[in-house]
Structure 1
Amino acid sequence: MAMRQCLLLAFSALYFLLMAATFNSLGQVLPYIVADLKLSWAEAGMGFTLLGTACGAASLLPATTIRLFGVSVTIVLGALQLVTGFAALALMTGVPAYLGGTLLLGMGFCFCGTIPAVHVIGHVFEGRRSTAIGLYFTAGNLGAVCGPLLFYGVHSATGGWRSYWWICAVAAAAVGGIAALISRIDEQGRSRVALDGEGGAATGWTLRRAMAKGQFWLVVVAYTGCLLINTTVHSFAYQHLLENAVAAGTATLVISAAALVAAAAAALVGLAGQKVGPQQLTVVALATLALSSAALVLPTNGASLSLFALSFGVGLGASTVSTTLLLRQWFGGLASLELYSVMTVFSTAAALGPSIGGHLHDTTGSFAPSLIGQAAIAALLAGAVALTRPPHAQEEALGVG
């Protein structure tokens, strides 16, 4: 197996774990944590907010460690944070440990997740970048399928939720260690200058000139909108369905079905991205995510649950691939690591979604207001992306500055 396939496999396995054990599992565990630790839903939502905030706000840190020390060191640092965060959740007895654990998980996600992976995959798969990135995000969405099911199985077998976090801690140490080792072998076999795109092969916009363009900020806002719905739905969809007389097993099945659709959608969008423009794919992602939030406030029946699973899955799977490809298509690969990191930093605003949704639920007794609001936001963004023209090619620059 070629080294680039090993890298794709290692990063995909790590992303599978991250998606299974963080955002997608926590929403399933929260009702039990709230009941056992006597938390309010505002406090529970704050944990999700910290998870998303740390994941976004710290995004420039892995970009810096990659430039200074390489990808392998970055992965090791992230794995240590993940193990510590999972252990904190397994041992927590109150709000401080809960918030500290989710904060560490967000940091670990940032160091081990899409920033190093997209950087490496985007450079080693120049000819088939769209397909490779699609496969990477497919692995993450498969993790989103397995995470809730794994927790459901562990909880059914043990009657508790703490053992699940211990399993996640062990997995983070093992998978993170393997990914770091493979990255280190790859770094020793090539010049880091080539990996960083500083050897003359990479072209594109400079960091400063890209950040001066309105199109860059539109991609950032579109990515943030997708993340807002992703984070908020994963925070409260399970509880929302329970409150609307959906059985726990059925709710788990619906959410896992949406994640399965997302996995298929990411793979298909990756393949389609070789021929279809990422701008069009981003419009599809935003429109279907808007539809998914609206579906959750429809009368609960088989049709509305199916509509939610299908539209949320398609939107989630398409959004992660399409926005990444759109950023690269419009601004090139020269400063792609920094641009992707900046985009992730500003997307931290999406982490306010669960906190706002939790407060609205405590006030109104329903998650419907937040779901309707985010559906409107996504619909407006879909229209904006559809009407925007790419930045002018003659303004493209060739040096980082």
Structure 2
Amino acid sequence: MTYTHEPGSFLMRREWLVLAAVSLSFFFLNAATFASLGVVLYTMVGELHWSFKAAGFSFSLLGIACGLSSVFPTTLMKRIGPRYTMALGGLVLVAAYMLASYTHGLLAFYAAMLLLGLGYSLTGNVPAIYAIACWFPRRSARMIGLYLMIGAFGGVVGPPLARAIVAFSADWRVYWMEMAGVAVAVTLVNLLCLRDRAIEADPPAGAKGAPASPAEIAATGWTYRSAIATPQFLAVAASMTMTMACVTTINSVALNHLGILGVAPDTAAFALAAMALVMTVAKGVAGPLCEIMSTRRLLVLGLALQVVGIALFAHAGTLVGIGAFALAFGIGWGVAYLAASVLLLEYFGKDIGSQVLGMVWTITTVAAAGPVAAGAIADQIGTFAPIFYLYAVLMVAAIVPLMLLGRPMLAGTGPFARRGAEPDDGSQGAVAQVPAS
């Protein structure tokens, strides 16, 4: 990919405008999609007389649409760049919110959720992380962590904001209309602030300007096909799939699960908010940590904390248990989410790494089956606990290959490689500018 950008002293200011714009977009996405959908659905179900199963399917449909459309941004960015990819996504979001506001039946609302999922992908992590990596080549990990932290805070603000809008207006349609208006404003901000910058192709520098290490040089020359064929990619994809399965299932069944354990609904809702808040802070802290320690080991640590958290959640019937769950799982979720994104950039470079990230989110679509499986188990035996123990075991299984696998190597590289070996399609990948793991 080659894009133009304005030269001169304004570059220093432009990079912060880019970071602010993509962070605002992610904040809005988290506040006005998954986090608040359940709040608005509660009112819609009563007025439109939908069944809980039919309404709940819209949540799963949103997740499926996000996952399956995650490959679209990488294709569009090759042609129109991240700026117009995110602008197009903003227009799709506006259409989705307007369609939702005029909903009278399930089919129209399902169509709105499909559009909302597509808009989420086009304005979400794939183009945003690529833009950050291009504008902050030497501080990618830190700035991606800041971006994810700001965006994740939308998940804390979104539910109470949605509740307030619906209560004040006494009409859920007003909420969707207002979100359409905010989507227009966010899209305009993106058009004004974002600029497409060429990928920095300078040789990678080691710590403090030292010569590049063989591991850093290994991030050059990857192609999309060769990257997704590596066991390292599959290991990262598996870890993110398990993370998203845990997150979606917890958000879907938390009130029912904790209710069975004797926990009041208000306390259960507070547990979810606390988990989201801890996760938000963890994402911000994980960015600088990626610059001073192995990102791969940081990912393993995040997954291990999720194992502890999800096991605690299975029987979190006390305030102490709920607090321990929120702390352990929130930190693990935030750290793993950030580390997985940065690790792909380290392994495959900014260009190919951002494309591979889109495929990871496509694979995580299978996590949408988690809430369905949890409900089926609870219907049969009267408790959700077994699904969380199963998740803990599967998460441990996802940790093992990450601990055993090192940095991926291209065919024709290594100590006995022929000098000047070319990628399989003759193209050169981007160089990772973040520390090797």
**TM-score (norm: length of structure 2):** 0.82
Do the aligned partners of 1:285 and 1:315 also contact (CA within 8 Å) in 2? yes
Count residues in correspondence. 393
Partner of 1:290: 307
CA distance in 2, matches of 1:384, 1:38: 48
Measured after TM superposition, the shift of residue 4 of structure 1 is 0.6
Do the aligned partners of 1:284 and 1:382 also contact (CA within 8 Å) in 2? no
CA distance in 2, matches of 1:30, 1:380: 36
Tell whether 2:287 aligns with 1:270: yes
Partner of 1:313: 330
Q: Rate the CA distance shift 1:90–1:133 in 2: closer, same or farther, 3 A.
A: same
> Which runs of 5 or more residues in structure 2 are unaligned?
1-11, 205-218, 415-420, 430-437
Picking from 174, 187, 193, the partner of 1:163 is 174
CA distance in 1, matches of 2:173, 2:255: 19
Q: Rate the CA distance shift 1:361–1:23 in 2: closer, same or farther, 3 A.
A: farther
Q: Rate the CA distance shift 1:295–1:164 in 2: closer, same or farther, 3 A.
A: farther
Measured after TM superposition, the shift of residue 40 of structure 1 is 4.2
Tell whether 2:233 aligns with 1:216: yes
CA distance in 2, matches of 1:18, 1:260: 16
Picking from 53, 65, 70, the partner of 2:64 is 53
Q: Rate the CA distance shift 1:333–1:235 in 2: closer, same or farther, 3 A.
A: same
Partner of 2:248: 231
> Which deviations, in whole Å up to 9, do the C-alpha atoms of 1:2-46 show, x marking residues without a partner?
101100000001000111111112234444444444444443342
> Which deviations, in whole Å up to 9, do the C-alpha atoms of 1:188-243 show, x marking residues without a partner?
xx5xxx24x67998834222222222111111111221122222222332444455
Backbone CA RMSD of aligned residues: 2.6
- Give the partner amino acid of 1:146: V
Measured after TM superposition, the shift of residue 363 of structure 1 is 5.1
User: SS state of the match for residue 350, structure 2?
Assistant: coil
> Which deviations, in whole Å up to 9, do the C-alpha atoms of 1:104-155 show, x marking residues without a partner?
1111100000010011111111111110000000012111111122123334
Q: Rate the CA distance shift 1:17–1:325 in 2: closer, same or farther, 3 A.
A: same
CA distance in 1, matches of 2:158, 2:264: 18
Measured after TM superposition, the shift of residue 352 of structure 1 is 2.1
**Comparing 128-137 and 200-209, the one that deviates more:** 200-209
> Which deviations, in whole Å up to 9, do the C-alpha atoms of 1:31-76 show, x marking residues without a partner?
4444444444443342222211111111221111111112222112
Measured after TM superposition, the shift of residue 281 of structure 1 is 1.3
Q: Rate the CA distance shift 1:232–1:161 in 2: closer, same or farther, 3 A.
A: farther
Q: Rate the CA distance shift 1:303–1:209 in 2: closer, same or farther, 3 A.
A: same
- Give the partner amino acid of 1:392: M
Matches within 5 A, 1:188-199: 194-195=198-199
Matches within 5 A, 1:353-372: 353-361=370-378, 366-372=383-389
Measured after TM superposition, the shift of residue 272 of structure 1 is 0.6
- Give the partner amino acid of 1:251: A
Q: Percent identity?
A: 33
**TM-score (norm: length of structure 1):** 0.88
Q: Rate the CA distance shift 1:388–1:301 in 2: closer, same or farther, 3 A.
A: same
**Comparing 315-324 and 354-363, the one that deviates more:** 354-363
Partner of 1:97: 108
- Give the partner amino acid of 1:47: S
Matches within 5 A, 1:1-400: 2-159=13-170, 161-183=172-194, 186-187=195-196, 194-195=198-199, 203-242=220-259, 244-361=261-378, 366-392=383-409, 394=413, 399=427
Measured after TM superposition, the shift of residue 268 of structure 1 is 0.7
CA distance in 1, matches of 2:102, 2:378: 28
> Which runs of 5 or more residues in structure 1 are unaligned?
none
**Which has the larger Rg?**
2
Kindly indicate which of the two structures has a greater share of residues assigned to helix. Answer: 1
CA distance in 1, matches of 2:58, 2:242: 20
CA distance in 2, matches of 1:235, 1:215: 30
CA distance in 2, matches of 1:341, 1:249: 36
User: SS state of the match for residue 333, structure 1?
Assistant: helix
Q: Rate the CA distance shift 1:299–1:125 in 2: closer, same or farther, 3 A.
A: closer
User: SS state of the match for residue 292, structure 2?
Assistant: coil
CA distance in 2, matches of 1:138, 1:55: 20
- Give the partner amino acid of 2:294: G
